Structure 1
Amino acid sequence: MGEVARIAQAVLSGGLSAPEAGPAFEIYRNNYRQGLARALTQSFPTVEQLVGPDFFAAMALEYVEATPPTSRYLRDYGATFSDFVRAFAPAAAVPYLADVAELEYGLVQAFYAADDADDPPSDLATIGLESRLKWRTSTRVVRSAYPIVSIWRAHKSGETLEGVDWRSETGLITRQAHNVGASALDVAEAIVADVFRQASPLISALEALGSDAAPAAAHAFRRLLDLQALSISK
């Protein structure tokens, strides 16, 4: 256990001996717990909206009690929150909640991801079939049996979920300049995106879809370039 996690565990569990522990420590401990819960609220606003602030606050505090932070940066807290939500019995009535949480954590991490050394490629004509491409450091992909991108967008625009098409979605998270967003990928686009999770030649995308799907592969690759999801691997 790292130093940050060890200290956090001691605070959350009250595992300090006298004279360290006492009424003042209990106040600090409660403030610490509430601070972590607020950090979750900031990282998972759509999840909070879907279940309501009271439900979210109770769920967040249970997560805080079970999961001390391992990083000094609050933006990193919540890496396992989607897994916790998936196993949290009271949330079972909202089966897509955990996947939305995974999408939102990906958005936070994409925002704070390190900058790439080079600008993203934009001209398809300059990329050869043997050129090796990979995800940019801010790129993330989240697969779901639910329309998680549409749900997230509805939250962002203040709309209800009545107009959401309830089908599975694969969410592509990208950062363009300082703007982070999520886009829904179709089946071919999701397959091509997975190809470049690790540095791979462009021709691998054609192989993944099959030689008879060259137009679909080209369209998918063009969209990934437009969304600035890829970098050329050196």
Structure 2
Amino acid sequence: MTATASQQDFAAALRVPTRRAPTGLKAAGRADAERRFAVHRNNFVVTLIDALAEAFPVTQALVGVEFFRAMARECVLTPPPRTPVLTDYAIDFPRFVAGFLPAAEIPYLADVATIEALRIHAYHAADATPIPEAAYRELFAAPERLASARVMLHPACRWLASRHAAYSIWRAHQGLHDLSDADLAGIDVEQAEDVLVARPSFEVVVTDLPPGAIAFLDALRNGEPLGAAFDRVNTTCVHVDASALFAVLIRHGLEAGPAIELEH
């Protein structure tokens, strides 16, 4: 057996509890190899479950520890980590939650998990210096240049269009010693909410977004100038407040780089 095949056999045995320990292990005998490998398999699974529980405390609070750990165990045993960085592994967890049938009765669970995953991304994203307000003032003083201005968004910022009140549910759990004490009684969970996660400096910020902000940020992320971004918003959304969209950029430091780039 080649080294690659041996490694693949070892990894597969870790994820399948009914599979026998791989051959070639140093042990007193087959029974000893099975016993020792079972301990290693259990440590492998429990470590990843613990990592997911730590990364998704609100998601766990919504379903309870027992349900969450069972769900996380299924996630661990289905697709193995493709990276040695556990934070990267955790960011993919919401996709599993969305397809986990026993969680289907909680339709907002995957979106809440996504907020927690985006916070992980924001915390570990590259640093960048937000554009100072003076750059905006110069741009507003020459409105003829505004439409052609292009911006570079901060690498830490991400957003989510949720069909549920994912932001309100997540926020209701903040600042509590015991997350199970969160009160969701006043939240209309069927109310769609758009969510922003950003880290303009050193602290991750989570907030809701005004109407049209998702389409606006999508356009900017795709490299469209401000004028085209506003046109896109106006064709896809109603009751859009342009000043509110600019306020999102400025207040949360979403634009980064040495300056705002103008088309020539």
Question: For the superposition of Structure 1 and Structure 2, which TM-score range results when normalised by the shorter chain?
Answer: 0.7 to 0.9
Give the 3-state SS of the residue equivalent to 2:24 in structure 1.
coil
The 3-state SS of whatever aligns with 1:156 is: coil
How many angstroms apart in 1 are the aligned matches of 2:13 and 2:253?
43
Same amino acid, percent of matched pairs = 32
One-letter code aligned to 1:105: A
* TM-score, L = length of structure 2: 0.78
- In structure 2, the partner of 1:224 is 249
Q: Is the 8 A contact 2:211 2:240 kept in 1?
A: no
Mapping of residues 153-232 of structure 1, within 5 Å: 153-158=171-176, 159-166=182-189, 167-210=191-234, 216-232=241-257
Most deviating of 5-14 and 126-135: 5-14
Offset of 1:10 from its aligned partner?
5.0
Look up the equivalent residue of 1:220 and give its one-letter code: L
Counterpart position of 2:130: 119
Quick one: which amino acid aligns to residue 162 of structure 2? S
Gaps of at least 5 residues in structure 1 are none
Contact 1:209 1:217 in 2 (8 A): no
Instruction: Judge conservation of contact 2:130–2:254 (CA < 8 Å) in 1.
Output: no
* Superposition misfits of 4+ residues, deviation over 4 angstroms: 5-10
Which protein is bigger by CA-based radius of gyration? 2
Which shifted more, 66-75 or 126-135? Answer: 126-135
- The equivalent residue for 2:152 is 134
Q: 1:75, CA displacement in angstroms? A: 1.1
Tell me, in whole angstroms, the C-alpha distance in 2 between the residues paired with 1:59 and 1:75: 18
Cα displacement string for residues 182-210 of structure 1 (whole angstroms, at most 9, x for unaligned residues): 11112222222222122332222321234
Supply the RMSD in Å over aligned alpha carbons. Answer: 2.5
Aligned counterpart for 2:66 among listed residues 54, 58, 80: 54
Residues 38-88 of structure 1: CA distance to partner in whole angstroms, max 9, x if unpaired?
Answer: 110111111000000010011100110002111111111133322211221
- Residues 73-88 of structure 1: matches in 2 within 5 Å? 73-88=85-100
| 1:8-23 superposed matches below 5 A | 8-13=11-16, 16-20=22-26, 21-23=33-35
Superposed, which structure 2 residues align to 1:28-107 within 5 Å?
28-107=40-119
Distance of 1:143 and 1:209 partners within structure 2: 15
Give TM-score, length-normalised by structure 1. 0.87
Greater CA drift, 126-135 or 44-53: 126-135
CA displacement at 1:161 relative to structure 2: 0.8
Q: Within 1, Cα distance between the matches of 2:166 and 2:133?
A: 27
CA drift at 1:98 = 0.8
1:157 is paired with a residue whose SS is coil
Structure 1 window deviating more from structure 2 (22-31 vs 40-49): it is: 22-31
Partners of 1:168 and 1:113 in 2: CA distance: 27
Distance 1:156 1:210 in 2: 34
Q: Distance in 1 between matches of 2:133 and 2:53?
A: 36
* Alignment: residue pair count: 229
Q: Tell me the CA shift for residue 18 of structure 1.
A: 3.3
Q: State the AA in 1 paired with 2:91.
A: A
Residue number among 101, 108, 116 corresponding to 2:120 in the alignment: 108
Q: Distance in 2 between matches of 1:207 and 1:148?
A: 28
